[in-house]
Amino acid sequence: DTEVTQTPKHLVMGMTNKKSLKCEQHMGHRAMYWYKQKAKKPPELMFVYSYEKLSINESVPSRFSPECPNSSLLNLHLHALQPEDSALYLCASSQLRAGGPYEQYFGPGTRLTVT
Amino acid sequence: DQQVKQNSPSLSVQEGRISILNCDYTNSMFDYFLWYKKYPAEGPTFLISISSIKDKNEDGRFTVFLNKSAKHLSLHIVPSQPGDSAVYFCAANYGSGGYQKVTFGTGTKLQVIP
């Protein structure tokens, strides 16, 4: 199973709402990533988790709160977002051992619209 | 500051011919380079990678060349097929203890014409 799943596929939320994005993989990967992709732009790294611990936060605003409850799950909690946060949010996972880097496996993304 | 650049936003190639996608980078600390393909409404899919200590890596129809002195890499697809039509992202990795800190290029949209 080389699949990364993301739910929901689409999400529309108001600026006062609280919502969560979910990502799941069962490949035994111990590194998981959140990316943000705006239209016609490359994916931009937001967060990296390794062994369920936050390793990289690319100066992301606190209205985005990541969580890695176990080695298969990655969540992104959203609160008080702005319209400019509307984007495709991609989750990815990769192996974590010496001799890398290993390719990342991406989910299909969650298309988020903030109204 | 765009550390990884793909200067051609689009490329059209006839089926059966060679597709050459180019990528330039500025950070000499990058230790691995990867190419991903992305179809609409899907996440990127890994194609091929190359270590900074190599100058060529081949996998079937895909070959990546690295010129470290010029800070340039290219992806060759031979022969090109209509199913190769997608957006191709060059990505550069900065070694970070096992996990990857990857910077993506701006992407090149490849169209293979039957």
Contact B97 A90 (CB under 8 A): no
Contact B99 A48 (CB under 8 A): yes
Sign of the alpha-carbon torsion through A30, A31, A36, A37: negative
- Per the omega criterion (within 30 degrees of 0), is the bond before B9 cis? no
Per-residue pLDDT averaged across A82-100, rounded?
89
> Nearest-CA distance from A101 to chain B in Å?
6
> Nearest-CA distance from B75 to chain A in Å?
16
pLDDT in tens, A16-31: 899 999 999 999 999 9
Distance of alpha carbon B74 from alpha carbon B65, whole angstroms = 5
Contacts of B93 in chain A (CB under 8 A): 101
Contacts of B4 in chain A (CB under 8 A): 42
Check if A80 contacts B (Cβ < 8 Å). Answer: no
Question: A59-94 b/e with 16+ CB inside 10 Å = b?
Answer: ebeeebebebeebbebbbebeebeeebbbbbbbbbb
Q: What is the dihedral of CA A66, A67, A70, A71, to 10 degrees?
A: 10
Contact A94 B42 (CB under 8 A): no
Per-residue pLDDT averaged across A89-97, rounded?
91
Phi, psi of B60 (to 5 degrees): 65, -125
Burial of B99 (0-12, 13-18, 19+ CB in 10 A): buried
- Per-residue model confidence (pLDDT) at position A75: 98
Q: What is the pLDDT along chain B (114 residues), one digit of tens a residue?
A: 679 999 999 999 999 999 999 999 999 989 899 999 999 888 999 999 999 999 999 999 999 999 999 999 999 999 999 999 999 999 998 876 667 788 999 999 999 999
Contact B43 A50 (CB under 8 A): no
